[in-house]
Amino acid sequence: MSCSSGSAGFPPAAGPRPKSIPRSSPRGAAWPKRFHQAVEKWRDTYLPDFAYLMENWDRYFPRDDRFRLCAYRECGMPCSIECGEDQGKPKYTRACDMKPEAAQHLVSAIRAQASTEFGSIQQHQLTLARAQSEEDQIWVLRMMAEELRHGYQMLHLLLSEDWSSVSGGVTGEQMVEEILSMTTGSHVLDAFNLDYDSYTDNVVFAACIDRVGKYQLTMQKVCAYKPMADSMPPMLREEAFHLAAGVIPMRRWAQKAAKGDVFVTMKMMQHALNKWVPRGLEMFGDERGGGTNVRYGLKPMKNAEAQDQYYEEVKKVVADLNMRYVRARCPEMTHGEAEALLKAVLVEGQVVRGIRPEDLLRAPHKHFFRRRGVPAFQKIGADGTEFADLDSYLHHLAQVLPESYLAGRDFREYAEAARQVESGATTAEQAAGRMPELRRVGGVCPCSKSVRWVQDVPATAISPAAIS
């Protein structure tokens, strides 16, 4: 069965179908009821305000279709491989037809993507109640709900194939169970193992880390595995809202800061950028890698190229925020005059119209505060300054990172690992592999019993190494 355009829905059997979703789909719509129920139980634990979101959906999003927990696949997507050594050949509809190494990289990507979606919800929930307004809270709640749907989408891909031959014998159902049992500290990527320290994190994370998600989804839209490629366009359309949930509040904060608002400052935003941009850069993987994904047609760019593009986009976001700050401070200025002022302050270090260099935002240096990749544990400051000794560098970090973050376990473990690297007791690569190490009291997800729908007996723990 095929469809010509739009998105195809893959919902569970029960429930009304939005008018925007075609009734036909390229695959059967039957889903294991236990799977859907497991995700709903997970939602009840980590998204307890979901009912509140749905009650207020039409009030805040009157032009948008109401959220529905289901999977979508875009219809009319290319059927031929778009990059790599097999470019022009038919895309794979079954993972078992792919080369084993390609399938291994694919399942690792699906698993990592699923982990990030569920991980971000757990992070946002930590400080959601601290939102300054109901509107801000609703926006984040919508973002969390859509991340849940994205995770659902990835779990569907894990369940639709037998991955055991390329995952060390780990089945798709076991991977689903593992992902639903992950908590902050046990997710695949470091950015999703950091606790939020304030509501600032909710916003800046969306602006910086969801921007990485946009790049990853865009690259995966050309994936040689057609079910993965077809899943990306609906996720990308929703991801646009997630970026807005970060950038729009930051724009508002910059304008308030310009007028002397005591509740939001440029320094506050700068420290948050310093915390999250390094983690965002690391989400692309080691700068030297990515060639295998390109060769097999899973992605069109190597890690370094995608990372560079992301960093340039972050700098544009920062430039936009600075412009809004200046225009709010000096509303009589033309755009050209504001640009000249920014150059004088940021590049030449002047004080113009009372605006000092420290009043404006900067994208932290690409090698700043890195724990993975080529720059891992290098003592590079936020402005690119290289520090001679670790104590001076840690003192610098204490000046440019959020104070609440400095008091947490993650920064302490970073400092301890950095000292081991500095002394030669371990290598940067070895230290990176051990971070972060957050632990939760109790050790398991509070809904673990509810998500163990694969079997009624306790599941054997699955090592991430088994499927990477």
SS (H, E, C) the chain: CCCCCCEEEECCCCCCCCCCCCCCCCCCCCCCHHHHHHHHHHHHHHCCCHHHHHHHHHHHCCCCCCCCCCEEEECCCCCECCCCCCCCCECECCHHHCCHHHHHHHHHHHHHHHHHHHHHHHHHHHHHHHCCCHHHHHHHHHHHHHHHHHHHHHHHHHHCCCCHHHCCCCCHHHHHHHHHCCCCCCCCCHHHHCCCCCHHHHHHHHHHHHHHHHHHHHHHCCCCEHHHHHHHHHHHHHHHHHHHHHHHHHHHHHHHHHCCCCCCCHHHHHHHHHHHHHHHHHCCCCCCCCHHHHHCCCCCCCHHHHHHHHHHHHHHHHHHHHHHHHHHHCCCCCHHHHHHHHHHHHCCCCCECCECHHHCCCCCCCCCCCCCCCCCCCCECCCCCECCCHHHHHHHHHHHCCHHHHCCHHHHHHHHHHHHHHHCCCCHHHHHHCCCCCCCCCCCCCCHHHHCCCCCCCCCCCCHHHCC
Task: Note whether residue 341 is domain-resident.
Answer: no
Task: Note whether residue 446 is domain-resident.
Answer: no
110 and 220 share one domain: yes
118 and 152 share one domain: yes
Which CATH number is 131's domain given? 1.10.620.20
259 and 381 share one domain: no
Interaxial angle between packed helices 390-400 and 266-282, expressed in degrees from 0 to 180 and rounded to the nearest 10: 120
Domain of residue 288 covers 40-326
Length, in residues, of the chain: 468
The residues facing 80 across adjacent strands are: 90
87 and 227 share one domain: yes
> How far is CA 279 from each of CA 189, 310, 354, 364, rounded to the nearest angstrom?
9, 12, 33, 11
Query: What's the structural domain count of the chain?
Result: 2
Q: For the chain, first and last CA: distance in Å? A: 34
419 and 313 share one domain: no
- In terms of Cβ atoms closer than 10 Å to its own Cβ (0-12, 13-18, 19+), residue 390 is middle
The residues facing 355 across adjacent strands are: 352
351 and 314 share one domain: no
Final residue of a domain: which of 326, 357, 380? Answer: 326
298 and 191 share one domain: yes
Spatial separation of the C-alpha atoms in residues 82 and 5, rounded to whole Å:
19
The per-residue pLDDT for 433 is 79
pTM (2 d.p.): 0.87
Six token digits for residue 182: 């992950």
Task: Note whether residue 396 is domain-resident.
Answer: yes
375 and 298 share one domain: no
Could you list the pLDDT tens digit for every one of the 468 residues in the chain?
233 335 555 444 333 333 333 333 434 344 678 889 999 999 999 999 999 999 999 999 999 999 999 999 999 999 999 999 999 999 999 999 999 999 999 999 999 999 999 999 999 999 999 998 999 999 999 999 999 999 999 999 999 999 999 999 999 999 999 999 999 888 998 889 998 999 999 999 999 999 999 999 999 999 999 999 999 999 999 999 999 999 999 999 999 999 999 888 999 999 999 999 999 999 999 999 999 999 999 999 999 999 999 999 999 999 999 999 999 999 999 999 999 999 999 999 999 999 999 999 999 999 999 999 999 999 999 999 999 999 999 999 999 999 999 998 899 999 999 999 999 999 999 998 776 544 444 334 433 333 333 332 233 333 333 333
Task: Note whether residue 338 is domain-resident.
Answer: no
Six token digits for residue 352: 């113009």
The per-residue pLDDT for 32 is 77
Over the range 99-123, which residues count as b (16 or more CB within 10 Å of their CB) and which as e? eeebbbbbbbbbbbbbbbbbbbbbb
Q: Nearest CA to 114 among 165, 48, 41, 39?
A: 39
204 and 298 share one domain: yes
The per-residue pLDDT for 259 is 95
361 and 258 share one domain: no
- CA dihedral in degrees (404, 409, 412, 414; nearest 10)? -110
Task: Note whether residue 25 is domain-resident.
Answer: no
Task: Note whether residue 28 is domain-resident.
Answer: no
234 and 263 share one domain: yes
Spatial separation of the C-alpha atoms in residues 207 and 243, rounded to whole Å:
5
313 and 367 share one domain: no
Spatial separation of the C-alpha atoms in residues 295 and 302, rounded to whole Å:
10
Task: Note whether residue 14 is domain-resident.
Answer: no
Task: Note whether residue 455 is domain-resident.
Answer: no
